Structure 1
Amino acid sequence: MIDLLSSVFLWASVPAGAMLAVIVAFHFESEPRTTEKKALGFLVILLFEVPRFAMPFLPQPGLGIPRMIAWPLGGALFALAMGFAGLAATRLGPAVADAPSKDEELQTSGVYGLVRHPIYFGDAFWPVGWSILFGAAYSLALTPLWFALLLVQSSLEERKLVGEHGEAYEHYKEHVPYRIIPKVV
């Protein structure tokens, strides 16, 4: 019998469920965000991130990549993804924790000049580097799920951004056609 707490797929259901909760709850609300909603949002972020950090340490098949290759490759991919997301979060400042707002300046330069959702780029790809670094096949295989959830999230978020920034956001979409991955999507 499989020990459920050591199941990668059980752990994967937690971040998947957290992101689905965000998609359902966050994007269908019309009231301003309260302190309680921000706290709940922080909890959901923890539920999305922490299990994905833990998954490579659970029992699963290895990737078969020699450590001499896996460590620098995985480490570089992880650092690139986290750095990209970190630069984006720094540009947003305190607004990173809030829903799109008319009061916030639309960010269009720096990493926001490459893709419209650079934090999601980092969030989709740090697990790739992390999984390679620790040789975790199932964790790596789950990357398309994280990407798909973030693609849906970004699509719904863009509706709010168009509503908040109107023509300025439409103009931004024309000049930065890629949502998450530069030159791809």
Structure 2
Amino acid sequence: MPNTLRVALSSLASLVGFMVLLFLPAGTLNYWQGWAFLGTFAAVSLVPTIFLGRLDPATVERRMHAGPTAEKRPVQKAVVVGIIGCFFGMLVVAGFDRRFGWSTVPAAVSVLGDAMVAVGLGMAMLVVFQNRYAAANIVVEEGQPLVTTGLYGIVRHPMYSGSMVMIIGMPLALGSYWGFLVAFAALVLLVIRIVDEEKMLSAELTGYRDYMTKVRYRLVPRAW
């Protein structure tokens, strides 16, 4: 099956799953924040991926190997399960929040949240264009080069920086302040993933130890 078709079918299946997790707890389809989030997520993630699939199929193939079963390190398996659970959890919590009216989020704030989701996802997509070895799982391939330019010259894990922006933006986009409880757990898991990943990269990726001394910050410039 061509990569483009595989990506399209996988994305469609994911969106259907997101809709179930979001609108079933909400008990209604009259939830504009949910539709806006899904539209933003689909547009920003799918279009660049299809383009990259035509430009460099091998990169998209790497991105298709995702999930806990694709991880080799036990810590990463557990972390990935937790992060996926948190993502789904934010959708479910937001849906119930919409049904029971726990939060009152201004429309402008939800639009800001969608913008953050777009920026975060867009940043993650840009990282894949800058580093074609940026797989969805933690692995060092034979002959893999060390990328130190572009966003990698600012922080060591720019894809996770984008993920952080998206995670913070999701509860706002979905109109649920309660979603931040789940978002906080996702951010903690992201930090654990980074710390464990750097242990492997410093041991297996040539030049990474020197890179760590040149680019001091992992996730947020001048913070961490």
TM-score range, shorter chain: 0.5 to 0.7
Residue 130, structure 1, aligned to residue 179, structure 2: no
Gapped runs of 5+ residues in structure 1? 8-20, 30-39
Aligned residue number for residue 10 of structure 1 = none
Please, which moves more after superposition, 143-152 or 94-103? Answer: 94-103
The structure 2 residue matched to 1:74, chosen from 113, 125, 129, is: 113
Cα distance in structure 1, aligned partners of 2:158 and 2:134: 15
Cα distance in structure 1, aligned partners of 2:85 and 2:189: 11
Sequence identity of aligned pairs in percent?
25
**Superposed structure 1 runs of 4+ greater than 3 Å apart:** 43-50
Deviation at 1:102, TM superposition (A): 4.8
Aligned residue number for residue 213 of structure 2 = 174
Q: 1:6 to 1:66 in 2, by over 3 A?
A: closer
**Is the Cα contact below 8 Å between 1:101 and 1:164 reproduced in 2?**
no
| 3-state SS of paired residue (1:26) | coil
Cα distance in structure 2, aligned partners of 1:74 and 1:53: 14
Deviation at 1:104, TM superposition (A): 0.6
Give the TM-score of the pair, scaled to structure 2. Answer: 0.57
Deviation at 1:90, TM superposition (A): 2.0
Amino acid of the structure 1 residue aligned with 2:184: P
Cα distance in structure 1, aligned partners of 2:170 and 2:90: 8
Aligned residue number for residue 157 of structure 2 = 117
Deviation at 1:101, TM superposition (A): 3.1
Give the TM-score of the pair, scaled to structure 1. Answer: 0.67
How many residues are treated as equivalent by the alignment?
151
Query: What are the within-5 Å matches in structure 2 for residues 1-185 of structure 1?
Result: 6=25, 22=68, 26-28=72-74, 47=84, 51=88, 54-55=91-92, 57-60=94-97, 61-62=102-103, 64-67=104-107, 69-97=108-136, 99-166=139-206, 168-185=207-224
**Is the Cα contact below 8 Å between 2:83 and 2:186 reproduced in 1?**
no
**Is the Cα contact below 8 Å between 1:75 and 1:129 reproduced in 2?**
yes
- Root-mean-square deviation (CA, aligned residues, Å) is 3.2
Deviation at 1:56, TM superposition (A): 5.5
Cα distance in structure 2, aligned partners of 1:88 and 1:75: 20
Gapped runs of 5+ residues in structure 2? 1-23, 27-66
